[in-house]
Amino acid sequence: MSRRLPLAEGGACRTVCARSLVRAGVDEETGEVLSQGVLVQRVGWCADLVAGMVGALISEHWNTADVEVLACGVDAGGRKLPSNAWMALRRLGWATAPEGVKVNDRIARMAQEQAGRALRSVKWRADVTAGVLATWPAEPRHRTHAEWEHVRASIPGGRHLPSSLIEGRTRQVVKFRAAHGRLPVDVFELEGVPKVPRMLLLAACDKQQATIERSETNRGRVLLRLQLPTRPDPRAYRDWTWVECPIILPPTVPPGAVLHLPTLRIAGGTVYADLAYSHPVPEARRAGHTVALGVDWGVNTLLSAGALRLDKDGRITALGAGAQFRAAGVLAEQHRLRRHSERLHAKADHYARLLGGRPDEHLTEQHEVLRSEIRLVSQRRQNLNNALAWAAARWAVDQAISARATVIYLEDLRSMEARGMGATLNTRLSQQVCGKISDRMRHLAAEHGVAVVTVPARNTSKHCPQCLSPLRHRKAPDKPTVAGWKWAICPNTSCGWQGDRDHGAWRRIAARGLTHQGKTVTDKTSEMLVRSVVDTLEAGAVVTPSTSNASRRDRSKTGPTRPRTSRPAPRRRRAPSPIRPHGRAGKRPEGHAPTDRTRLPRAAHRHQGVNTISTPTTAGHRPRGAALGAGFHLNAHATPPRWETIPETRSDSGSLS
């Protein structure tokens, strides 16, 4: 099948990966059906052979000199090295072969490709670590401004490097010095030889090792053919046979996508195929946007978003009042699991100290039980974070699609340091899944041609979105004299804007992105960002209030109040209910509850709407669980898209739906 993807004008090729389950296979030579256990065994034998070759290659060339040779991009003869890692290693003469077994050339290719990728990726970490070691400060945890400038100048491309990455490398060096009493020589001594994962990079092979074909009758199925060993130590080529593995594609793979050879992994006694595919998508632009979605991060309100429009005359106006993605219940469960994990780690460390290297069957058994429980809690936390990240990213992209926005502007929080806000809040800020949400947001937005751009986060919550004056933050709109952080009030009498702090922040983020479109760049990871704020452009990043404020209808009292009865009829029924007959015929009495049901369903008792959280109606009642109900979807509440043009008022107190 052809691997060339035809593209229309204004389109781009997008290559992504989808995970599939390989359940069984068929041995072509004998016709035997391989169960899942047998398939895992044979794939594991091949993965062990590749992992052994990868480990030997990395151990041999895990040093500064060899990594510099590979990173320079030319060989000894001055020729440019190929982009494929396995071809580059063969040009340099870096090869290895297992002793006592027989493997074909394609197995060696997979090992060289995996080792080459690992050696190429360590170059950037080596440069950062070398810059940190060369400018080691007197107080590593508190660098001065001059020391920060010095360390950034010593790192290639360190001018725009997030400070959190430099701080992370500094803490790693501090830990090494505390253990060994000296500074490490380089990153290769600091990290040591990395562990080699058990996987098969079939993308480095050709048809002599693996093929993949899509079914003509059912586009949701593919057939993967590859050679696998019949024994853990194959002695000849006859110990390798072709195996057919049918794979069911996930529904996210388009019918017309071009499939590539997958990467096979073994996890939990199952073979997974990371299937890469390419398909055409609209091209995301860096500039030329007129409608943008601004997204602000929060603690309890995880995301606050809204759309702005850039008119031809340069005016920026808001489209609607904005929306929020509230995940307080999920975040509460996340922090509960974090505290539980910390207690388990403390117990495991105490058992390790009690053992002290001496044999004790009872303590060893208890220690293993704790370690297994730690792994389960860690897996549960990871699954919860992944579910939350996908839900938040999907919500943000849906907001952009509903507003017909072509770009999403995020504030860059990679350099945020959670300090000085108390132990609890510092930990909560550090445990946010902002990085995962950003990655998944880029993944989902690329399908619709929506660009995702990060902008500097400086003063997005401090200044007024309409006049850029410093805001006064209060606890609530009905408590204008109580200091707090949730409600923002502009002290400028000619402006008078007030609203939720997060709603003001997304206005500032979107306006800053629209005015700095010409400064958008793409870094080496293909992510779009605005690196710095220009004062002249920032002066124009103001949101123009709606003109409907001046022509607001006068609601002053002009006459007597209409008399109302003190005992009105019920709102649902203005007439008395009919008498309930004795038989099964007749009308249903008042109310909406079924007459043949003695107990209402659980949802009716909870008073849970589609887009609102329930409020306990009984005194003393407290909902069980993180916030209410049970399950993920009952704890996450998102405001639905609502992008009709709403006249902007002087207060945003009604926007928190």
**Under 8 Å between Cβ of 104 and 49:** no
Q: Are residues 183 and 214 in the same domain?
A: no
Q: Span 250-255, mean pLDDT? A: 89
Please tell me the predicted confidence (pLDDT) of residue 334.
87
Q: Are residues 273 and 299 in the same domain?
A: no
Question: Could you tell me the CATH number of the domain that includes residue 538?
Answer: 3.30.420
**Under 8 Å between Cβ of 508 and 460:** yes
Q: Are residues 124 and 230 in the same domain?
A: no
Q: Span 166-182, mean pLDDT? A: 92
The structure tokens listed for 427 are 């930990």
The per-residue pLDDT for range 353-379, each reduced to its tens digit, is 888 877 888 888 999 999 999 999 999
> Which comes out higher in pLDDT, residue 147 or 4?
147
Please tell me the predicted confidence (pLDDT) of residue 97.
83
CA angle 207, 213, 216 (to 5 degrees): 150
Q: How far, CA to CA in Å, does 291 sit from each of 407, 454, 504, 515?
A: 7, 16, 17, 12
Q: Span 319-342, mean pLDDT? A: 89
Please tell me the predicted confidence (pLDDT) of residue 10.
74
Q: Span 521-545, mean pLDDT? A: 89
Q: Span 18-46, mean pLDDT? A: 93
Which residue, 224, 259, 282, sits at the end of a domain?
282
Q: Are residues 300 and 419 in the same domain?
A: yes
Please tell me the predicted confidence (pLDDT) of residue 461.
87
Q: For residue 32, is it within any domain?
A: no
The structure tokens listed for 381 are 């936390």
Q: Are residues 470 and 506 in the same domain?
A: yes
Please tell me the predicted confidence (pLDDT) of residue 434.
84
Q: Span 608-614, mean pLDDT? A: 42
Please tell me the predicted confidence (pLDDT) of residue 608.
43
Please tell me the predicted confidence (pLDDT) of residue 609.
42
Half-sphere exposure of 552 (CA within 13 A, CB side): 10
CA distance 100 to 292: 62
DSSP string, 278-339: EEEEEPPPSS--SEEEEEEE-SSEEEEEEEEEE-TTS-EEEEEEEEEEE-HHHHHHHHHHHH
Please tell me the predicted confidence (pLDDT) of residue 577.
53
Q: For residue 482, is it within any domain?
A: yes
Q: Span 626-638, mean pLDDT? A: 49
pLDDT over threshold 60, residue 623 = no
Q: Span 588-594, mean pLDDT? A: 51
At residue 15, φ and ψ (nearest 5 deg) are -110, 120
Q: For residue 609, is it within any domain?
A: no
pLDDT over threshold 80, residue 582 = no
**In this predicted structure, which of 197-211, 234-248, 287-301, 624-638 has the lowest mean pLDDT?**
624-638
pLDDT over threshold 50, residue 653 = no
The per-residue pLDDT for range 105-115, each reduced to its tens digit, is 999 999 999 99
Please tell me the predicted confidence (pLDDT) of residue 362.
87
Please tell me the predicted confidence (pLDDT) of residue 328.
83
Q: Are residues 306 and 267 in the same domain?
A: no
CA distance 202 to 52: 17
Q: Where does 171-315 show beta strands of DSSP type E?
A: 199-201, 210-214, 221-229, 240-248, 258-259, 263-267, 270-282, 291-297, 301-310
Q: Are residues 398 and 487 in the same domain?
A: yes
Q: Span 235-244, mean pLDDT? A: 93
Q: Span 282-303, mean pLDDT? A: 89
- High-pLDDT (> 90) share of the chain, %: 52
Q: Are residues 444 and 311 in the same domain?
A: yes
Q: Are residues 274 and 302 in the same domain?
A: no
CA distance 438 to 454: 9
The per-residue pLDDT for range 470-496, each reduced to its tens digit, is 999 888 888 878 888 888 999 988 888
CA distance 90 to 101: 21
pLDDT over threshold 60, residue 263 = yes
CA distance 622 to 608: 14
Q: For residue 137, is it within any domain?
A: yes
Question: Which 8-state DSSP code applies to residue 162?
Answer: -
CA distance 387 to 644: 30
pTM of structure: 0.77
In which band, very low, low, confident or very high, does the pLDDT at 162 lie, cut at 50, 70 and 90?
confident
Please tell me the predicted confidence (pLDDT) of residue 545.
85
Q: Are residues 511 and 478 in the same domain?
A: yes
CA distance 386 to 157: 31
Please tell me the predicted confidence (pLDDT) of residue 424.
52
Q: What is the mean pLDDT of the chain?
A: 83
Q: Name residues whose C-beta falls within 8 Å of residue 640's C-beta, 6 or more positions apart in sequence.
A: 323, 611
Q: Are residues 117 and 264 in the same domain?
A: no
> Which comes out higher in pLDDT, residue 117 or 9?
117
Q: Span 243-272, mean pLDDT? A: 92
The residue count of the chain comes to 657
To the nearest 10 degrees (0 to 180), the angle between helices 328-355 and 423-430 is 100
Q: For residue 123, is it within any domain?
A: yes
Please tell me the predicted confidence (pLDDT) of residue 161.
85
Task: Look at the chain and report how many structural domains it folds into.
Answer: 3
Q: For residue 204, is it within any domain?
A: no
Q: Span 524-529, mean pLDDT? A: 87
The structure tokens listed for 640 are 């639905």
Q: Span 433-456, mean pLDDT? A: 92
pLDDT over threshold 50, residue 421 = no
Q: Span 300-308, mean pLDDT? A: 89
In which band, very low, low, confident or very high, does the pLDDT at 579 lie, cut at 50, 70 and 90?
low
Strand-by-strand arrangement of the 33-34 sheet: 33-34, 25-27, 240-248, 221-229, 210-214
Q: Name residues whose C-beta falls within 8 Å of residue 458's C-beta, 6 or more positions apart in sequence.
A: 533
pLDDT over threshold 50, residue 611 = no
Q: Residue 273: which domain range?
A: 11-27+209-282
Which residue, 500, 519, 548, sits at the end of a domain?
548
> Which comes out higher in pLDDT, residue 478 or 29?
29
**Under 8 Å between Cβ of 308 and 292:** yes
Q: For residue 225, is it within any domain?
A: yes
In which band, very low, low, confident or very high, does the pLDDT at 613 lie, cut at 50, 70 and 90?
very low
Q: Are residues 248 and 319 in the same domain?
A: no
Q: For residue 499, is it within any domain?
A: yes
Q: Span 393-410, mean pLDDT? A: 95
Please tell me the predicted confidence (pLDDT) of residue 568.
60
